[in-house]
Every structure is written in C-alpha cells, then in structure tokens.
Amino acid sequence: MSKSGKHSDDPNHVRNKRRLIIGVTGGVAALAVATGAMAATGGTATGGADTGGKASPRSLKVMSLNTWHGGAKVTDGVNKIAKQVKASGADVVALQESSSPVAKEIADKMGWKYYTSSGKDVDLISKKPIEKTDSFSKESSGAKAIAAKIQGVWVYSIHLDYTKYGPYNACFDKDSYQEIYADEASRKAQAKDIAEWTGSAPAIVAGDFNTPSHLDWTKATKATHCNSAVEWPATKAFADKGYKDSYRELHPSPAKVPGNTWSPVTKKNTDYDNKPEPQDRIDFILHKGGSLKPATSNTYGGGPDWPSDHLAVVTTFHL
C-alpha cells in the first residue's frame, strides 16, 4: 500500500491541493444555471493537430481543466485561466478544483453568459447556451458530478478521489497487483456510480480522474510504467458503460503518444526522497451515444504562464 497515500489534493503533498468536502444530496438534484437570460449574472497544443480556433456550428469543442485551486497557486491565476481558455478556442470547459464563484469569474472575464453553480469543486462554463443542468452526489462513494445540456448533448465535469494514487503503489512501493487494485476501490466505486447515473443519452464526461487509463498501462508499455501492466478500474468502469476515450481514439498508441497530463510542474516527489514523479495521463474526455465523433484531441498548456499543475485536454466533437 502507498507509503504516504497522498496524491493530487492533499494539502501536505508536493502538489499542494486541498481535500474535497463532498456535499451530500442523496442522489440527483437539479441546479439552476446562471445565464444572461435566466439570471443576471499562450497555451500550447500537444499530442494532436488541434491548436485552437473556433468550432463550427455542428461541432462542440470541449476542454477539461484542473484549475489548481481556482488559480490561487499562481499569480493572477484567474486571468491566466481565462486567457488560456480563450486561446484554446474551447466552447465548453469542465472545471475541477474550482468553485462556483471562480467559475462565474472566469466566465465573466471570457464574456461568456453560461455557467453552473454546483457548490462543489466541479463546474462548467460555456460559450454556447446551456439548455438544462443537473447534479449528482452519493455519500457512500463520495461520487460527485455536474452536468449541463449543450447543443443537445449532456456534458459532465467530474473529479475522482485523490488518495492512494496508483502509480505511487506501482513505482515507489512496488506493491502487488492485488494491493494496487485494492487501493483503487474508491475511484472505481465513484466511477461506477457516475457512469450509471449518466444513463444512455449522448454524453461527454470530462475531468481529472486521479488515475491513469486502462488503455495506457499495457503489456506493450510496461517498460515506461515501472514494469507494470494495470487495468485501471475507474476508466474501465466508464468503458464498460459504453464510453470511449476521445484522445486515445485519435492517438491509439500510448507508447508513441502517451498524452501525459500530470504534470507540467511536478517532476520530483518529495515524499519519496525526490524520486522522479511518475508522468501520466490522468485527465480525460470520454464520450458515448448519438452521432458524437471526435475530430481532434490534444493535450494543451504548459510554459511559464500556464496556471495549472495539470495539462488540459481539448477535444472537438462533430455532432
């Protein structure tokens, strides 16, 4: 089992993020969406050909972005987030490690009228009208999600449990597969609950999963993943419900195009004697149903003005 049990949100970990406090709603709860009508209210693309620009009317360009405490970890963070989102050309951004006031502030700086107010650390902001919203939380697993219907498609922002981070088990503690899978129980339960809640409608799930993908740690890539092949259960839970990984669809070789999103900032782990931090793809944009088809998908960000300790993921869908 992981020596420290720490990963993305632990305030004492090198990533210096907060622990989530989950509000319990007992299931599905409707959320009001703040819009101009309903309530007054440079980046670098890698791992793909999409480098910004506007999406067409029959497409939807989605970004998943961990905001690193709502931009609080860098100077002028909110302005930097807004600048990077604008440069990406995204239509919709799934925010994690944010807050509803920060989501509104980012939207306002972008001149966008549409955003959610989940009361959790996940929200959505959109250039395009939000038709409906919904939210979900479950006490037993700690699962939480916010959803907005945009251009007839439900878009979800999610953030899974940060504790007992699997790559530390494999790379630092040299745990058995049995121990690795046991420590994934929380994320697996959250993923299963959220995937079940999303139902069968056309959907896009975007977020920080705090785990690699079952598509990446394969026998063919063991040499780059601490000699381990792991079928990470959180992403597998979504795959079992029909979700496809937009990035890996367009970049099918994890050996040639790993698409790592963790981390442009953290390269050494102070909890493990400054050993090299495992670099992994832990942020995803998944999709299923309808005529949704990913046209481009890339990681996005990095550099001195980048406001997050994750790279973002950006996928343009044809609807």
Q: 144-197 pLDDT, tens per residue?
A: 999 999 999 999 999 999 999 999 999 999 999 999 999 999 999 999 999 999
Q: What is the pLDDT of residue 201?
A: 85
- 270, two tokens: 């102070």
Q: Which of 61, 55, 83, 67 is nearest to 18 (CA)?
A: 67
Residue 27, phi then psi, degrees to nearest 5: 135, -135
Q: What is the pLDDT of residue 47?
A: 56
Residue numbers in the chain where pLDDT is lower than 70: 1-57
Q: What is the pLDDT of residue 268?
A: 98
Q: What is the pLDDT of residue 290?
A: 83
Q: Which amino acid is at 130?
A: I
Q: What is the pLDDT of residue 39?
A: 27
Q: What is the pLDDT of residue 1?
A: 45
CA 146 to chain centre: 12
What tens digit of pLDDT does each residue of 195-219 get?
Answer: 999 998 899 999 999 999 999 999 9
- pTM for the whole structure: 0.87
Phi-psi domain of 68 (left: phi exceeds 0; alpha: psi -120 through 50; beta: other): left
